[in-house]
Amino acid sequence: MKTPATFLVLSLVISLYAADAGPRVFDVRQFGAKGDGKTFDTAAIQKALNECGQAGGGTVKFPPGTYLSQPLAIRNQTTVLLEADATLLASPTQSDYLKGGGDWLKAKGSGDFIPFIGGNDLTNVTFTGKGTIDGNGAVWWGEAEKARQKVSGYVLPRPRLIIFNRCKNLRLTGIKLINSPSSHFVPADCEDVTVENVTIVAPAGAANTDGINPSNSRNVTITHCTIDTGDDNIAVKSGKKVEGRPFGCENITIADCDFLHGHGMAIGSATVGGVHHVVVKNCRFENTDNGLRIKSGRDRGGLVEDISYSNITMKNVHPAISIVSYYQYSTNDKYQKNDPAQPVTETTPVFRNICISNVTATCTQDAGLIIGLPESMISNVVLENIHLTAETGLTIANAKGIQLKNAEVSVKEGPPFTTENAQVEGLVRANEKQ
């Protein structure tokens, strides 16, 4: 028979176990972080992150304040909670991000840098709250723009704001990401990624400040986000083949998002590993340099298929639709005509099975392009219930199996549709409607 004392001991053990098993909170201020925006809080924050990971997981909390920090490493099973009026501010010292030290302007690639926030081979990592992560990008953008002006299209290597490699169950919700030196959030080789109600902002002229770049990742959902940046708002990329997988990047859903300044909703330019099953729906675009864009080139291409865009509205975009196998060309005035066919290789772009439906757009210049390569024609594209208003029309070239169903392009000059080496069903009917 158990005595009252025995029951008391058992109750205490159960209580202690329950308390220990519950979620733990690691407040960065309790680890010595000042949050005054002047003192480096790196050591205190990293200690909180480390102890959270060592404890088997929990929440690292940032109360209101500005926490200046050098690069940080996230640990397993960690939730980072940024409370309202809490800002995690990146160090403005470029050498803090160099793996080997030295002059950052001599870096050979982005791989020479440590991201402001990073993690490898993690599970169940969440960033949440109403706070902000600020990349202090102004100290980087000036030199990047100088380099781009000297060599058109050149990307000066810089660190990313947040990058995770080979992680599962990543979640960003509610927070704000601003002023990254380059791309803001890069899940690379990750699975089961959710981004919702996140705001991403960088100046329109800040070079290469992509919003979200799912790279060789699977099962990614991005919803109810507002993205206003200096480069691709979202870019789905697959820069390498993944062993055992036919597609490096697949099952991507982008829904109910607002795209402001930036280069629009992109797939590519790196598509070597293949991209499969991307759904973009119920999104709004305003003042973006591109709307719906698939881009690649002969030296960086792969198979892109099963792509769906639906219920899209665009205002003042240039252009609305750009599906082009010549990466450097995205507008009618730069379309490379009379290009001879070249041998098909492992990096030849192949774009097929694309549906674009229920799209309304006003374009500041041309309506758009669907242009494949003479050796690799874009195939099986359906444009249904499309209503575009533009200065000039939509160009379709090196393409087959293109279907126009209630597709209208209203232009100020020239034909609404221009074709070259293209098989287009419904073209006469579409032209007659203008």
- Active site members: 231, 263
Residue 197: exposure state from Cβ atoms within 10 A (0-12, 13-18, ≥19): middle
Which of 266, 328, 260, 261 lies closest to 293, judged by CA?
Answer: 266
Instruction: Give CA–CA dist 30/44, Å, rounded.
Output: 9
Instruction: Give CA–CA dist 103/315, Å, rounded.
Output: 42
Q: H or E segment at 43? A: helix 42-54
Q: Nearest 10 degrees: CA dihedral of 118, 87, 124, 241? A: -40
For residue 357, is it left (φ>0), alpha (ψ between -120 and 50) or beta? beta
Instruction: Give CA–CA dist 369/132, Å, rounded.
Output: 38
- CB neighbour burial string for 171-181, b if at least 16 within 10 angstroms, e if fewer: bbebbbbbbbb
Which of 419, 310, 415 lies closest to 372, judged by CA?
Answer: 419
Determine contact, residues 346/298, Cβ cutoff 8 Å: no
Q: Which single residue is written with the structure tokens 């980072």?
A: 80
Q: Which single residue is written with the structure tokens 């409370």?
A: 83
Q: What share of the chain is helix, strand, coil (3-state, %, to 5)?
A: 15, 45, 40
* CB neighbour list of residue 394: distance below 8 Å, 6 or more residues apart: 321, 366, 367, 368, 369, 370, 388, 409, 416, 417, 418
